[in-house]
Structure 1
Amino acid sequence: MSTAPDLAMPTTITATDPAKAAAAPRIRLLSHGFSIEHPDPELGERLMADALGVADREAMHGIIRQLVKASASGESSDEVNLAFMISMVKSIKPRDSIEAMLVAQMVSVHVMAMRCAHHLANADDLAQHDSAARALGRLARTFPAQIEALNRYRSQGEPAITVQNVSVGDGGKAIVGNVTQHASVIVSDKNTVSAARNAPKASGSRRRPASADAKRKAQA
């Protein structure tokens, strides 16, 4: 019994169902390319472009064509495998063209790694075993590097964190005021008061009256 989804069934999306209307449509492979299954072709392309994180029709078609080639098993494309790859891209939710290309690479690397794992499990001799093991190792190292690259790209442009507190730096000088910290740089506002600088002045002002009183008593 096959558990593969029935991709031949049309996706029925009506305008009265906003949840279904917002879902990205399926891709159907044809002998000359592919088609986007949606009652409204223009809306279907827009939904697919949004799901892939690209800005226009040309970029959307380019990403899909690349995924179709990456999904191929042997000489023919695998529609079930393609549906899985597009589903994974949508679940990661790329936000722009850079993320769309990187996520498409991540999904393709995963698919190739699983193929290498299959070849490794079914290797007939030592040469096939070693070849599949080396390829699987390289792909397994590439995938987490891609995840790190995506996280690093997404973290760019995050706002600096502003904290109102007392920050004590080297030498025991306390900075009181609004402190904005970004990366390893700490900048205080213009109204910052240095507690260490004011401390000697306060102690000196208390000692002067005592010295004057002692001098008057000595003269008397």
Structure 2
Amino acid sequence: MTTAPDRSTTTTIAAPDRRRPASIPRIKLSRRGFAIDHPDPATGERLMAEALGVTDRDAMHGILRQLVRASVKGTRPDATCLAFMLSMVQSIQPRDAIEAMLVAQMVSVHVMTMRCAFQLASAIDIAQQDSATRALGRLARTFPAQMEALNRYRTKDEPAITVQNLSVQDGGKAIVGNITQHASVMVSDQRPPAATTDARTVPTQELGEREHAPVRATRAARA
């Protein structure tokens, strides 16, 4: 028999070598709505806003209200599901309003994905299986797309790494400028490469003398 966890206490799972953020307040659900369960309302709102990644009170209540609605099971919000969703949001640690909205969508999509997986497992006919399979596939493809969008947004200010190609002919050797690393970016020295070959490097003037030497020899022979 599986029993529901005690909602009056918070279970903390310790992780090695990791600083855990402040505990997120519980949400008290009622027929009239919901409220942040904290002895000090101001402190409770601040902790909830930090967990959701927003600084505005209206934004915090707006995202929280959307998560409450997304946790609805049947006709009423599910307290256990809501606590899980809030814990996942806090674990991802959104840093601004854009990330807060995207992360809220991610945890909601995950919950819906698992519900569709349950519906597929408990389907009793082909029609239910087909419907659950289509919904599960769409949601499963949406979640990694959201992860990619979050990663792109978080790394938008990081400089790109440029890799230059170098082609060397057979029998030759080339030395490219020094490769340095600064601020997690590989930068190639723009100084011209020092060309070293197995054969002796021929100066331009000497090449000119060799080109004209046969011509002078031919004229002398004709004379």
* 1:58 equivalent in structure 2: 58
* 1:195 equivalent in structure 2: 194
5 Å-filtered alignment, 1:1-220, equals 1-7=1-7, 9=8, 22-159=22-159, 169-170=166-167, 174-177=175-178, 188-189=189-190, 192-196=191-195, 204=203
Using structure 1 for the length normalisation, give the TM-score: 0.72
Paired with 2:75 and 2:48, the residues of 1 have a C-alpha distance of 26
Q: Residues 112 and 168 (structure 1 numbering): CA distance in 2 closer, same or farther, change over 3 Å?
A: closer
* 2:14 equivalent in structure 1: none
Paired with 2:147 and 2:160, the residues of 1 have a C-alpha distance of 24
Paired with 1:20 and 1:103, the residues of 2 have a C-alpha distance of 19
User: Which residue identity does 1:113 align to in structure 2?
Assistant: T
Paired with 1:128 and 1:2, the residues of 2 have a C-alpha distance of 27
Whether contact under 8 Å (1:168, 1:175) holds in the other structure is no
User: Which residue identity does 2:48 align to in structure 1?
Assistant: M
Paired with 2:115 and 2:27, the residues of 1 have a C-alpha distance of 22
C-alpha deviation, 1:117, in angstroms: 1.3
User: Which residue identity does 2:77 align to in structure 1?
Assistant: S
SS at match of 2:102: helix
Paired with 1:145 and 1:20, the residues of 2 have a C-alpha distance of 28
SS at match of 1:116: helix
SS at match of 1:176: coil
Using structure 2 for the length normalisation, give the TM-score: 0.71
SS at match of 1:35: strand
Q: Percent identity?
A: 59
Alpha-carbon RMSD across the aligned residues, in angstroms, is: 3.6
User: Which residue identity does 2:50 align to in structure 1?
Assistant: D
Q: Residues 171 and 22 (structure 1 numbering): CA distance in 2 closer, same or farther, change over 3 Å?
A: same
C-alpha deviation, 1:30, in angstroms: 2.2
C-alpha deviation, 1:51, in angstroms: 0.8
| Cα distance per residue 1:25-74 (max 9 Å; x no partner) | 11111222211111221111111111111121111111111111110011
Where in structure 2 are there 5+ consecutive unaligned residues?
A: 11-18, 207-223
C-alpha deviation, 1:21, in angstroms: 9.3
Number of aligned pairs? 191
Q: Residues 158 and 3 (structure 1 numbering): CA distance in 2 closer, same or farther, change over 3 Å?
A: farther
| Cα distance per residue 1:57-107 (max 9 Å; x no partner) | 111111111111110011111111111111111111111111111111111
Whether contact under 8 Å (1:160, 1:180) holds in the other structure is no
Higher fraction of helix: 1
Where in structure 1 are there 5+ consecutive unaligned residues?
A: 12-18, 208-220
